[in-house]
Structure 1
């Protein structure tokens, strides 16, 4: 079947369809064949195939250059990405350190504030104790003073009842002599 289709394809050529001898200028197929051969010869004479090959080589070289440039750009982009990832990691680490430092400072400030509050409370308590002690001492002094005043008044009343004029002058003279002996 395959052979039959190949034979049929070859038999159906335009040269077979033309009437008359093949090598005459009246045969269109021969004229087309000559024009085609002349066209190919002109192309070869003008070195078109070498120019086309040269253009294709330039194109292939340009594509190779673009591919190598794309590879280098890709590698550079990967390097930049890695650098940014390192920077991101460094910045994240620094942010974590700053947060940890802020927490420590906040805890230290809280502890200092608590210590200051405890110290202030202790000072106020001590001040209250001092005021209480001072008030107690003042109350004791006032009671003693009052007791002394009452005792002096009571002694004065008792002496006034026991004293007469003679006894008074004798005691006065004794007091003056006691003062003189102590002064000299």
Structure 2
């Protein structure tokens, strides 16, 4: 751009009589400006700006396509995230339900175990009371038997000591007479 300004100023100076035409043509700045103008002219003639624009449009379309794909992927990801969050919430609800059922079942088992233990204690208590009653009855029978034996032994000893053969004969005669009357 600076070269083009320099060339234009030199050309203006030459037009006003500031120098010969040969001095402008021999200036390297003029040749650079001419080459640049020819180059830009060829670019316009070969429709380079249109090609560059088409290439840029193609690149813009590709980027727009990638952005739309990325947007679609983001929407899919959000959908999957929402789906998995719903599944997670459902799983958490099921876990809470399972925990509640397990706690209720545990409470039922504890209550049943308490009832079974109470029933077992009652049965064991009844069995112990029955054993005690049986032991008391057995002991009472043993005491009665021992008392009867002692009484029998004492009676036999008393009878033997107080009765002689004559008294025994009288008792036997009384018993026979009682049976004969009867």
Indicate the residue corresponding to 1:121 in structure 2.
Answer: 121
C-alpha change, 1:91 and 1:165, in structure 2 (3 Å) is closer
Q: TM-score, normalised by structure 2?
A: 0.74
What's the CA shift for 1:140?
Answer: 1.9
Q: TM-score, normalised by structure 1?
A: 0.73
C-alpha change, 1:117 and 1:25, in structure 2 (3 Å) is farther
Indicate the residue corresponding to 1:16 in structure 2.
Answer: 9
User: Of the two structures, which has the highest relative contact order with CA contacts closer than 8 Å and spacing of 6 or more?
Assistant: 2
What's the CA shift for 1:110?
Answer: 1.8
Q: Equivalents in 2 of 1:39, 1:175: separation in Å?
A: 173
Give the one of 166, 169, 178 matched to 1:166. 169
- Structure 1: stretches of 5+ with no match in the other structure: 1-11
Indicate the residue corresponding to 2:54 in structure 1.
Answer: 54
Residue correspondences, number: 168
C-alpha change, 1:79 and 1:162, in structure 2 (3 Å) is same
What's the CA shift for 1:168?
Answer: 4.6
Q: Equivalents in 2 of 1:90, 1:79: separation in Å?
A: 16
Q: CA-atom RMSD, angstroms? A: 3.2
